[in-house]
Chains A and B, each alone.
Chain A
Amino acid sequence: MPNPLIGLHAVLGEIGIVAFVWVFVEMIKPSPKRLKRAQIAALIGVSFFIASWIVGGYYYVNDYGLLVKPLIKEGPEPWAHSVIMESKEHIFIFLPFISLFTYNILRHYGKSLKKDKNSHAKKSVLFLSAVIIIIGALMGLMGYLISSGLRTAMEASLR
């Protein structure tokens, strides 16, 4: 059975992504109620990205590096570690900081945003949410490729 921390890391990260999809939708046409919901969603997103960072990091340091990395590197798809995991573990660090920045724009420009009278702040939240969603989706895809790297390595070891 795979380590449950992998699943937890993925679920926490996916909730973070969904939270920013929610922020994006609320900010297409902001109103006082929508702004409030967007602020809550962004706070949820920040919290879940930080939680996913900690859980993923714990798994990476204590389990992945010792057991999974050597298997992938010996298998038929060593790039799954050397390119994908090496990139993923560092790109993930971007997410909590960009999401915290986005949350603070929602807070700081709240008064003008809820009246839909600040097109620059609104564009900023929409753009940054899109960046977060794109990077988040990329993290999911990279996670899938790393899992495939392990699976092919294990299949190869059985032959």
Chain B
Amino acid sequence: MKGTNIKSLSISTVSTLVATVLITIIGEFSETFKNFLKLFTGHHWVTKSVFMFILFFAIYFLLYRTDDNLDVWKESLIVGIVALIGVVVLIGFFFINYLLA
């Protein structure tokens, strides 16, 4: 078995961060979706956490055999920037949501 596939790990990390932001925003717009999330664990946040954990490893193992020929700096830059944008988007979203409520 080869070592960690950084390319697939980078894709799974970015996908998990983006999914966290999207699912959170969709849940705020749709009460039906939020209730659907509650169905699995009893709390929407717990479902999101478990889902992100599963999504992260599912994408990683799905892409495990992809070509690992990459520029690690480019991949890291994408991960870091997506994370920082995610922070700004979430705070901005909840701030606007609060002002409009």
Contact = CB atoms under 8 A, between A and B. Distances in A.
Contacts of B98: 78-79, 82-83
B13 A90 contact: no
Contact of B79 (A101, A118, A130): A101
A87 interface: yes
Contacts of B56: 97
Nearest to A104: B4
Interface residues of B, number: 37
B76 A105 contact: yes
**Chain B interface main SS type:** helix
B73 A89 contact: no
Contact of A105 (B72, B84, B86): B72
B97 interface: yes
Nearest to A119: B73
A144 interface: no
Contacts of B97: 82-83, 86
Nearest to B19: A93
A78 B6 CA distance: 42
A159 interface: no
Given A90-B45, A98-B17, A101-B76, 13 more contacts: A57-B45, A61-B45, A83-B95, A83-B98, A87-B91, A98-B80, A101-B13, A105-B6, A123-B76, A124-B73, A127-B77, A130-B80, A135-B84
Interface of B: 3-4, 6, 9-10, 13, 16-17, 20-21, 24, 43, 45-46, 48-49, 52, 56, 71-73, 75-77, 79-80, 83-84, 86-87, 90-91, 94-95, 97-98, 101
